[in-house]
Structure 1
Amino acid sequence: MWTSLTRLREPMTLAGVFTLGAVSLGLRFLPADVLPAAAAALAGYAAGFLLFALAPEPWHRPRLIALVAMAGLSLLLASLTPRLGTAQVLLVIWVACAVNLLSPRWVIGAALLLNVAFYFLMVHHGFGAPGTMTLINIGFQALAGLCVFYARRSEESRDALARVNADLLATRALLADSARDAERLRVARELHDVAGHKLTAMKINLRALASDPALAGREEVRIAQQLSTELLDDIRSVVQAMRDSRGLDLQTAIRALAAPLPRPALDLRIADGVQIADPAVAESLLRIVQECLTNAARHANADTLTVSLQKEDAGMHLHIEDDGRLKGRVREGNGLSGIRERVAALGGDLRLGSSATGGLRVDVRLPA
């Protein structure tokens, strides 16, 4: 419901609604015997327009039916009101809608057929200069179609750029974590190999001094021995802590990946005990979530995508599901096939199915 209200506030939809409202005002000039049929046709056109504009994008067939109905109703109004100019405006709106659903070739072909039918209707009703009127209509239709086409292309380019930027941010987060881990390991090795070695040598020399009868009773020697032992233990503790990796920050990377998408919302749950130190595993998990986000947005019309990652006795379990609705059974396209290949490369297991709401469910189990 909220998605439909959001679409209703879009500029193109509002422009269409206001235009239809303005067109309806012109019906008051019609004769009484034609008015009911014309009003019913215009109401049907408005209903088709609202269905087309507010229906989710995956509803391809209902939107196509609405588009065909709008074309027929436009010609019906052209027949009922040949001198009012209602049909010309409705055909402009139709072309603007068709550009959002059909390929340019289909839009051009369908628009030409409609304009040919409009021309013959004008000839049938004895309208003066029907060819000129038809050409003027085609010009307005082309202008509306091009405006919508380039606006849509611009929006798609913006969305693609946002996805690429999110992908780069997510990858950068993983690379930054990986670089920090590598630097921490290098420093740990340096402390162990250099400082640890020299402190061990100092302990040996202090022990030798303490065994000298002339220095055996000196308190300074005993304190130096104690301090060197404690310092060596401290360095070993620091080295061990630096070697104990907390894993890559997969949560930040996934959230960066989902940030530019208005839908679906991400519900991310990563268990506290999950640690991923291998960048290749983290990268694969990131790409799996990315593909599921894309599928949920494009095909399932989902509002929420739930992602959970937890430890199991045999390894890790990644569970992903959306609250959308699939059409038919799950079919593996390039995206799902890519997920299967990534999981197989890691020696894991992939299972696909439907969620409780009819959306896509993905279960990935990876070995420890």
Structure 2
Amino acid sequence: MRFPPLILHPSLRPLMHTLVVAGVVTWLAVALSLHFLGETHVALGWGLLLLSLAAFLAEILLREGHAALRAGLLLVEPAAALALMWLDARPGTAQVLLIVWITQVVTAWKPLRALLVVAAADVGMYLVFAAQDHPAPLVASLLNVGFQIFAALCAHYADSAGQSRDRLARVNADLLATRALLADSARDAERVRMARELHDVAGHKLTAMTLNLRALAADPQLAGREEVRVSQQLARELLGDLRGVVQALRDSRGLDLATALRALAAPLPRPSLQLAMGDDVQVTDPAVAEAILRLVQEALTNSARHADADVVRVRLARDGDAIAVHIEDDGRLRGAIREGNGLAGMRERITALRGELSLGTGARGALRIEARLPSAREATS
């Protein structure tokens, strides 16, 4: 769940997540309790609290990439919370920071690793309670562990729901785009069938009628009749018109790739698609159309996940006997380009069509994808 969008730099948008806002509010509540500390500990307490907040926000902003740095930040947070408890456990608020930290750990680390680290932090919490002469250190620790479990489950289900929503949106977009291509392909097949029927049935009968009229015109008794001459002329014109209709039906304008690409991006909240397609770009081979479709789909997914982009610009142009595809977003990659399963599968698909794929970054650090696909005749030969 997210709050309504505000005018923020794309890199700061993760801070508007509901759980992040809740974590900041919790931090403020802990900050209000610092006046219970003795005067000698207030400055150190504020330092530890600010360190915890800085690590919390930094880890959120580094969710993509920087795995080692994020792991370090996730260890700083419980250390700061336990140190704050060590100063004085009587306010009973510093351990709440561990509950906020749990919501990050369960979504950032694998279950076993998260369980071991959380267990170590909870043992540390118990030892601090015991060292501070808490009247019931075990009860206090178990009470906080119960809240931690509740927070962990909430974070886990919220993260799972978000991932399911994103997967559903991508599947829906994929179905809409595929349906558009299938519908267009079906229309092309129907046009070819109608052209064949007209040529084989109506054309055959018109040809036969023309031959019969020619035989009638050769008869001395009918040779001078105006009706025979007009009938011959109409038959020739009708046969010519029929051939023109058949040819027009057979002349495919290509698959409606633009509609399919827009259908692919329509259900996605972000990023949006800006499509520029040359008038001379015609795709008649379904395999080439599907390759372009999957390439744009992967670009939209990567731009949303790894670059936090708002717009993905796609340009299709004719390049001799090939189709050139240029894709670039307005985001910024975090770290170097890593060719995962999606892009690797796309490279294999394009290579199978005897095409080329190259990856790079733009002037602003955005992902740039360049592809070149042979024409339908070369791709299917």
Do Structure 1 and Structure 2 share a fold, with TM-score over 0.5?
Answer: yes
Question: 1:275-329 deviations in whole A, cap 9, x for unaligned?
Answer: 1111111112212222233333333444433222111113211222334444665
Match of 1:172 in 2: 179
Give distance in 2, aligned partners of 1:337 and 1:111. 36
Q: Name stretches of at least 5 consecutive residues in structure 1 with no aligned partner.
A: none
Partner residue of 2:235?
228
Q: How does 1:18-97 map to 2 (within 5 A)?
A: 18-97=25-104
Listed one character per residue, the Cα deviations across residues 235-279 of structure 1 (whole Å, up to 9, x for unaligned) are: 111111111111111122222222343333322222111111111
Contact 2:359–2:369 (CA<8 Å) still a contact in 1? Answer: yes
1:316 aligns with 2:341: no
Match of 1:267 in 2: 274
Separation in structure 1 between the aligned mates of residue 160 and residue 93 of structure 2, nearest angstrom:
29
Q: 2:291: which partner in 1?
A: 284
CA contact (8 A) 1:58 1:298 kept: no
1:239 aligns with: 246
Residue type of the alignment partner of 1:356 = A
2: CA distance between counterparts of 1:154 and 1:328?
Answer: 27
SS in 2 for 1:299: helix
Gap change, CA 1:290 and 1:17, over 3 Å in 2: same
What are structure 2's unaligned runs of at least 5 residues?
Answer: 1-7, 376-381
Residue 160 of structure 2 is aligned to residue 135 of structure 1: no
d(CA) in 2 for partners of 1:336 and 1:30?
Answer: 55
Q: 1:7 & 1:325 partners in 2: Cα distance?
A: 15
- The equivalent position to 1:334 in structure 2, one of 316, 335, 341, is 341
Measure the CA separation in 2 of the matches of 1:319 and 1:306.
Answer: 8
312-321 or 253-262, which deviates more: 253-262
Separation (CA, whole Å) in 2 of partners of 1:345 and 1:287? 14
User: Which deviates further from its counterpart, 54-63 or 99-108?
Assistant: 54-63
* Aligned pairs (5 A) from 1:123-202: 123-202=130-209
Which residue in the other structure is 2:5 paired with?
none
Contact 2:270–2:311 (8 Å) recurs in 1: yes
Change (3 A) 1:155 1:331: closer
CA contact (8 A) 2:271 2:309 kept: yes
C-alpha contact (below 8 Å) 2:198/2:246 kept by paired residues: yes
8 Å Cα contact 1:77-1:86 kept in structure 2: no
Alpha-carbon distance in structure 1 between the residues aligned to 2:150 and 2:314: 45
Q: SS where residue 245 of structure 1 aligns?
A: coil
Residue 126 of structure 1 and its aligned partner are, at CA, apart by 1.1
Q: Distance in 1 between matches of 2:76 and 2:319?
A: 55
1:40 CA drift (Å): 2.8
Residue 127 of structure 1: CA displacement?
A: 1.2
State the SS of the aligned residue for 1:181: helix
Corresponding letter in the other structure for 1:352: L
Q: Could you report, residue by residue, the CA deviation over 1:111-170 in whole angstroms, capped at 9, with x for unpaired residues?
A: 111111111111211111111111111111011001111111122122112212221221
Task: Name the SS for the 2:372 alignment partner.
Answer: strand
User: Does structure 2 conserve the Cα–Cα contact (< 8 Å) formed by 1:352 and 1:363?
Assistant: yes
SS in 1 for 2:94: helix
Q: Which moved more, 1:176-185 or 1:257-266?
A: 257-266
Native 8 Å contact 1:323 1:355 kept in 2: no
Which residue, 100, 119, 125 being the options, matches 1:112? 119
* Preserved contact between residue 82 and residue 95 of structure 2 (Cα < 8 Å): no
**Secondary structure of the residue that 1:100 maps to in structure 2?**
helix
Please provide the CA RMSD for this pair. 2.2
The offset of 1:28, in angstroms, is 3.0
Matching residue of 2:3: none
SS in 2 for 1:318: strand
1:58·1:300 contact (CA, 8 Å) conserved in 2? no
Q: 1: CA distance between counterparts of 2:332 and 2:219? A: 84
SS for the counterpart of 1:246 is: coil
Is 1:204 equivalent to 2:211 in the alignment? yes
Give the drift of 1:67. 2.2
Distance 1:101 1:56 in 2: 8
Retained in 2: the 8 A contact 1:300–1:324? yes
2:88–2:132 CA contact under 8 A, matched in 1: no
Q: Is the contact between residue 206 and residue 225 of structure 1 (CA under 8 Å) also seen in structure 2?
A: yes
- Alpha-carbon distance in 2 for matches of 1:57, 1:159: 16
Work out which of the residue numbers 357, 366, 369 in structure 2 matches 1:359: 366
Summarize the Cα distance change of 1:11–1:330 in structure 2 as closer, same or farther, 3 Å threshold.
Answer: closer
Paired-residue identity, %: 54
1:326–1:359: 8 Å Cα contact kept in structure 2?
yes
Residues 217-241 of structure 1 show CA distances to partners (whole Å, capped at 9, x for unaligned) of 3332232222222221221111111
